[in-house]
Amino acid sequence: MIYDVVNKTLWLVGLVLLQALLFNKITVAGVAIPLPYIYLLITWNRDGTRWILLLVGFLLGLIIDSFANLPGINAASCVLLAMMQPVYLNMFIPRELQDERSLLPSISTIRWDGFLLFAFLCVLTHHITMVILEYFSINDLGGMLTRIVGCSLLTMAFILVFELLRMKGRN
């Protein structure tokens, strides 16, 4: 239990620092910014308490908002992601693991195809919410779609790198 709390705290601090110091400065075509800090919410344990996941999502988003000088956009997006993560995870758990409560979402537990679809659905939920709240208008629908697709693809690339590093660390 203590190991899990320390591990999640280190991931939170590391992802926030990476986002604030590195990823916020990466921009592709002036539109797409990677937002891999949501990896913490995506890989939350299945048996974790739901309100803790929501609280961590809110705090994570609030911290990122304070670094990016945004008025709660990331906090709202992270809370929605934290709310939907267990629902999405249940969609991609293999039948033989349905009864396992302590499942940790990863490539090794829900296989490549399941993890990719699960993570992409989580990333898309976060980014759609964030971009809609950021634009708060559908006047520039093309710009919104470009930003959602670009940010989602960049974020997925970094999430896969994190996941592969985590898998390598377990071996």
The span from the CA of 51 to the CA of 171, in Å, is: 32
Query: What letter represents residue 55's amino acid?
Result: L
pLDDT digits (tens, 9 = 90+) for 43-66: 998 777 889 999 999 999 999 999
pLDDT for 123 equals: 97
Is 3.40.50 the CATH number for 2-170? no
- Helices and strands: H and E segment counts in the chain: 6, 0
pLDDT digits (tens, 9 = 90+) for 3-37: 788 988 998 999 999 999 999 888 888 888 999 99
Side-chain half-sphere CA neighbours of 71 within 13 A? 4
CA separation, residue 72 to residues 33, 66, 84, 89, 114 (Å): 18, 8, 18, 26, 31
pLDDT for 61 equals: 95
Q: What are the residue ranges spanned by the domains of the chain?
A: 2-170
